[in-house]
Copies of this chain bind each other. A is one copy, B any other.
């Protein structure tokens, strides 16, 4: 069932107000969750959204997630515990005849400063002559969040009933590891009948991007990650390389040898059995060949040809479908641009493995740790080695042919006149996994992006295109109507 034409017309005719009013207001608030000095701005941003939801008739709750913690200690700001921003919940509709859709966005943003190279003030939404809307949070994730508010406003002002019951879950700590969110979701979902999540049929996460700058997509998978700290320690303090070079085992030498055994220059991970269970099914490669993407899309971003493979499908599978291992750097070694005659006494290699279903972070951590211990033993070096994980996230994959994806694909076609690409994210979107696990296999989860691949989330000059902001607002509405019309099946 397509969205009513009044709705679509309302979005089009109010585009300027949505941009110059709502999105401009939202971008103006520096809700930087990583900076305690901006915590009040972050909290204010949440309360502003709560007001908006109430003005459209929704029931809201501001969940107090308690104080921010660090290594088991309460983080203080001055004499007071630093409070986490509220989790803003909104409910519209309790009709048992309708499906119930849970929507997730976040209202916090990354830091931004003119001196980092912004073309325009990052807190003043600025539209260019080619209709890019520049500003911090424009695409990550205030644009999508405002898109949902646009949908609510249109329905209220057009006197349209919403076709589904809606549950909004808007968090203010996404850029800071979503502190507090997972625990709340898991605890709530464990209540009888899933507590606040009672009746939810599907989850729509609007916090990722198209695969390119041209075509809409639906996202049905994310890679997981396991991050490692590989420490090698020798002498009790740094030594002078003139006085001690040639006398002592050097931790940097050992570390570089072990790091070179992790991954080959051609991208192949060298850890035995790390690809177990990830082999391709017949016809799977062809799915990647269908996606609207070329090696030139990559070259545009990397600025030079550094592709590992000559063919598009292998490149896309390298990003989405297979594990990868990246070496990020070394802590404790000399890292400046000059020269220092130092033998660092203790160095920690930083690397991470991106994983895919059916891999589990704990299983991969053990594989990697066992292998590194074995390689360390082969070095026959003195000193000591330890390897620990410093973070992990599970991979996730959904059935991209279920009723929910079909409904979202229909809605996409209605708005963009094209079938959406079906993509997997190379990065981790941990809340996806949390919702998926907490709400169980009867609840279908998908990611429905608004912005484009070149929007520059987290970077300087973050933008969203006017076409995506307005088209995305229409898509969100259309999606609700197609979900309402669909027959639930797996």
- Point out residues on A near B: beta carbons under 8 Å: 223, 225, 227, 234-237, 239-250, 252-254, 256-257, 259-260, 263-267, 298, 301-308, 315, 317-319, 322-331, 333-344, 348, 350, 352, 354, 379-383, 390-391, 425-428, 458
Most buried by B among A250, A257, A317, A379: A250
- Residues of chain B within 8 A of A381, CB atoms compared: 265-266
Q: Which one, B241, B304, B330, B348, contacts A234 given CB within 8 A?
A: B304
A-B contact pairs, 9 of them (CB 8 A): A223-B242, A227-B339, A240-B458, A245-B319, A246-B324, A249-B306, A253-B265, A259-B260, A337-B348
Known: A254-B265, A307-B382, A338-B390. 18 other contacts (CB 8 A): A234-B306, A236-B304, A245-B319, A246-B317, A246-B318, A246-B319, A246-B322, A246-B426, A247-B298, A247-B307, A248-B308, A249-B267, A249-B306, A252-B326, A252-B329, A326-B342, A330-B333, A331-B336
Min C-beta distance of A340 to chain B, whole Å? 6
Query: Chain B residues with Cβ under 8 A from A325's Cβ?
Result: 245
Q: Are A380 and B265 in contact (CB under 8 A)?
A: yes
Q: Are A253 and B263 in contact (CB under 8 A)?
A: yes
Closest-CB distance, A346 to chain B (whole angstroms): 11
Which residues from chain B contact A225 at a C-beta distance below 8 Å? Answer: 242, 341
User: Which of chain B's residues have a CB closer than 8 A to the CB of A244?
Assistant: 302, 319, 426
A334 to chain B: which residues have CB within 8 Å? Answer: 328-329, 331, 350
Number of copies: 2
Q: Is the CB of B305 within 8 A of A352?
A: no
Q: Which of A257, A318, A327 has the most CB of B within 10 A?
A: A327
Residue of A223, A306, A328, A458 with highest tally of chain B CB at under 10 A: A306
By a CB distance below 8 angstroms, the chain B residues around A333 are 327-330, 335
B354 A248 Cβ-Cβ under 8 A? no
Chain B residues with CB below 8 A from A344, complex form = 328-329
Q: Give A1 to B348 CA distance when docked, in angstroms.
A: 58
Q: Is the CB of A246 within 8 A of B354?
A: yes
Measured between beta carbons, the chain B residues less than 8 angstroms from A391 are 339
* Cα–Cα distance between A281 and B191 once the two chains are bound (Å): 82
Whole-angstrom CA separation of A333 from B263 in the bound complex: 17
Using Cβ atoms and an 8 Å threshold, which residues of chain B touch A266?
249, 380-381
A223 (CB) vs chain B CBs: closest residue: B242
- Please give the distance in Å from A303's CB to the nearest CB on chain B: 3
Q: Please, which residue of chain B has its CB at the minimum distance from the CB of A267? A: B246
B250 to A327, Cβ gap below 8 A? Answer: yes
User: Across the interface, do A265 and B302 meet the contact criterion of CB distance under 8 Å?
Assistant: no
Contact of A247 with B383 at beta-carbon distance under 8 Å, contacts A326-B343, A333-B328 already known = no
In the bound assembly, the distance between CA atoms of A223 and B247 in angstroms comes to 14
Question: A354 and B242: CB pair below 8 A?
Answer: yes
Whether A339 contacts B252 in the complex (CB less than 8 A), given A247-B308, A352-B241, A382-B306, comes out as no
Assuming the contacts A242-B427, A335-B333, A339-B227, asked whether A307 and B248 have C-beta atoms less than 8 A apart, the reply is: yes
Q: Which residue of B lies closest to A333 (CB)?
A: B329
Contacts of A234 in B (CB 8 A): 302, 304, 306
Complex-state Cα separation, A298 to B244, whole angstroms: 9
Report which of B350, B354, B382 forms a contact with A305, defined as CB distance below 8 A: B382
Q: Is the CB of A326 within 8 A of B426?
A: no
Contact across chains for B315 and A247 when beta carbons are under 8 A apart? yes
Q: Looking across the interface, which residue of chain B has its beta carbon closest to that of A227?
A: B339
Assess whether A303 is in contact with B250, with CB atoms less than 8 Å apart: no
Q: How far is the CA of A245 from the CA of B236 in the complex (A)?
A: 35
Known: A242-B426, A319-B243, A426-B245. A328 touches B342 (CB 8 A): yes
CA distance A342 to B382 in the complex (A): 31
Instruction: Please tell me if the beta carbons of A324 and B245 are within 8 angstroms of each other in the complex.
Output: yes
Are A302's CB and B236's CB within 8 A? yes
Q: Quick one: which of A248, A307, A338, A428 has the most chain B CB within 10 A?
A: A248
**Of all chain B residues, which has the CB nearest A222?**
B242
How many Å from the CB of A415 to the closest CB on chain B? Answer: 25
A306-B337 in contact (CB<8A):
no
